[in-house]
Amino acid sequence: MPDFSDDIPTLRRILSSARTIAVVGLSAEWHRPSFFAAKYMQEHGYRIIPVNPRYAEILGERCHASLATIEVPVDIVDVFRRTEDVLPIAEQAIAIGAKCLWQQIGVKNLEAARIAAEAGLDVVMDRCVKIEHARLFGGLHWAGVNTGVISARRGG
């Protein structure tokens, strides 16, 4: 089985070289983790391409029913789906020439990871793209968001 490296230098390389993230399972509901993570990444200069057949548009971008209908190169395929749903997503990520298959926190499909890695994709499992970006590039507040306020005091 290939090594699925998620060490700091690898995560930093993936996030600093990527510009386009296809978010599979992105919700238009503002309180959902997928929306929160995608909005954060969009605000930090990444183009977000929503992949969810339930919506026409999310975050100002046309929504796609699958990865196959995306017309632009995709750097990261960020998966907000159940573990058992990831294998066909990995196959689509390979088919469109994505550079990284990123399985969000709680998602860890080893077979999908194996085929993606064997096809030359970077593979990240059980990690949040927003948390890792904030941790490695700044912006991680004790509550998980960047308030823009610099202070040693909490609250008030």
Gap between the Cα atoms of 119 and 124, Å rounded: 14
Element of type H or E holding 23: strand 20-24
Please give the DSSP secondary-structure letter assigned to residue 152. Answer: S
Report the distance separating Cα 3 and Cα 154, nearest Å: 41
How confident is residue 49, by pLDDT bands cut at 50, 70 and 90?
very high
3-state helix, strand, coil in the chain (%, to 5): 35, 15, 50
Whole-number Å distance between alpha carbons of 78 and 36 = 13
The answer to whether the beta carbons of residues 49 and 66 sit under 8 Å apart is no
- Confidence band (pLDDT; 50, 70, 90) for 141? low
50 — pLDDT class (breaks 50, 70, 90)? very high
Q: Is the pLDDT of residue 144 over 70?
A: no
Predicted confidence band of residue 117 (pLDDT cuts 50, 70, 90): very high
CB distance 136 to 8 below 8 Å: yes
Rounded to 5 degrees, what are φ and ψ at 147?
-80, -15
Check pLDDT > 60 for residue 138: yes
pLDDT digits over 4-45, tens only? Answer: 667 899 999 999 999 999 999 999 999 999 999 999 999 999
The 10s digit of each residue's pLDDT in 82-92 is 999 999 999 99
Instruction: Give me the amino acid identity at 101.
Output: L
Tell me the whole-structure pTM to 2 decimals.
0.88
- Tally: H helices and E strands in the chain: 5, 7
